[in-house]
Amino acid sequence: MPTRLLYLNDSYCYEANASVKWSELGLDGRTRVALDQTIFYAKGGGQPCDRGAIEGNRMKFEVLEVVAENGEVIHLIAGKVDLIPGQEVRCTIDSARRRLHSRLHSAGELLCAAMWDMGYKYPLWPVSSAIHYPERSCVEFGNLVNESARETLKRALEVEVNRLIHAGGAVQVVTASDRTAAAELCGYFPDYLPEGHSVRVVTMAGHRGRPCVGTHVSDLKEIGPVTITKIKSGKGRTAVSYALADSGAKET
């Protein structure tokens, strides 16, 4: 049974109980712990992992890293740790770190929606990759912008993204029953997703949604001011870098 991912339904859940499924000492000297359910986000989907602690039997262990392996979420703890199958534990995550990741990820998805609204839409402008790390946040589109038009787009996109954030609106997580239902919300057919499975789609205040497994804020206002730091275009791709105005990221 895969780990139940509690953050999919609630990005603001910073504390929860869980039961240990198994633990083992890894080759790198760290203990690998799997739980029946978890609030920890495992690194992936362009979002960094959560950090925090697992507490059980009056012992508290720091969770250094969280990774996903075959549907199982593995919590990595320094050294050899005794956590036995069936043991009840209390999990807590670093809420400031999670909140920053949720704001960054929501800003990236909103940037995609704003580009769509500005006419940079599928199929000419597919999103080819996205990364929402504090040190590097960037959405890449599979098309080119002429050098002469880049500065204008950068300014217009920044104005539009901030206008949407200022206006606010609900960030909603919708479960589409299959790819066809997802296509109605997203405006394109997500053929890279498995057939016959439900698809988690995140929509930004009624704008175009995207299939997404990340954590998000509940209202666009929580993102705060965003800066478009750079637009780079070449080799068939346009990379739009952005930063939260208060995150301290530098223009590169």
H/E stretch holding 68? strand 59-69
Smallest separation (angstroms) from Zn ion to the CB of 171: 11
CB nearer to Zn ion: give 89 or 127.
Answer: 127
How many residues touch Zn ion under the rule CB under 5 A: the total is 2
Q: Is 35 in the site for Zn ion (CB under 5 A)?
A: no
Smallest distance, Å, CB 107 to Zn ion? 11
CB 91 within 8 A of CB 35: yes
Min dist CB 226 to Zn ion, Å, is 16
Would you say 30 or 216 has its CB closer to Zn ion? 216
Q: Are 109 and 216 in contact (CB under 8 A)?
A: yes
CB 123 to Zn ion: min, Å: 20
Q: Is 48 in the site for Zn ion (CB under 5 A)?
A: no
Closest CA to 167 of 220, 113, 105, 208: 220
Question: Which tokens belong to 132?
Answer: 């929402």
Stretch that binds Zn ion, among 30-38, 50-58, 164-172, 213-221 (CB under 5 A): 213-221
Residue 214 interacts with Zn ion (CB under 5 A)? yes
Q: Nearer to Zn ion by C-beta: 23 or 137?
A: 137
Please say which residue, 161 or 212, places its beta carbon nearer to Zn ion: 212
Contact 20, 56 (CB under 8 A): yes
Contacts of 199 (CB under 8 A, 6+ apart): 175, 176, 178, 179, 181, 182, 190, 193, 211
Q: How far apart are CA 5 and CA 9, in angstroms?
A: 8
Residue nearer to Zn ion on the CB measure, 212 or 244? 212
243 alpha carbon, distance to own chain's centre: 15
- Provide the 8-state DSSP code for 101: H
- Window of 48-56, 205-213, 215-223, 228-236 that interacts with Zn ion by CB under 5 A: 205-213
61 vs 226: CA distance, rounded Å: 36
In the complex, the smallest distance separating the C-beta of residue 195 from Zn ion, rounded to whole angstroms, is 21
**Distance of alpha carbon 175 from alpha carbon 170, whole angstroms:** 16
Q: Which one of residues 115, 138, 139, 212 is an interface residue with Zn ion (CB under 5 A)?
A: 212
User: Shortest Cβ distance from residue 5 to Zn ion (Å)?
Assistant: 14
Residue ranges binding Zn ion (CB under 5 A): 212, 214
